Amino acid sequence: MEFLAVAGGICLVFGGGLLLFGLFFWAVCAGDIRRCRDWRTLTGQHSAPTVVAPVSVRLGVLGLVAAPAAFGLYQLVDRAPYGSWLHSG
């Protein structure tokens, strides 16, 4: 049960952090956003955020979606009666 709460907290923290990180890089890139498959087209160190920005935004949103699911499962298992198949006790 505690694993679900910890996993939800970690998803919430890292998801929010990655989302902010990605949105910052998205704003810095000024519209030159590339896909992961365009990694070979980068010409220097300063063009790497053009690929990192959408990846970070997608991973951040995934983390923010997974966090409420983990917290919801934690609440569901916590409220299950002792001895039920859901409580696994």
pLDDT tens by residue, 44-58: 777 777 778 888 989
How do the residues of the chain divide into helix, strand and coil, expressed in percent and rounded to 5?
75, 0, 25
Bigger pLDDT: 51 vs 38: 51
Q: What is the mean pLDDT of residues 18-33?
A: 85
Which amino acid is located at 71 in the chain?
F
DSSP annotation of 34 reads -
Rounded to whole angstroms, the Cα distance separating 12 from 65 reads 9
Lowest mean pLDDT among 29-33, 37-41, 76-80: 37-41
Total residues belonging to the chain: 89
User: Is the pLDDT at 89 greater than 60, yes or no?
Assistant: no
Q: What is the mean pLDDT of residues 14-29?
A: 90
pTM: 0.75
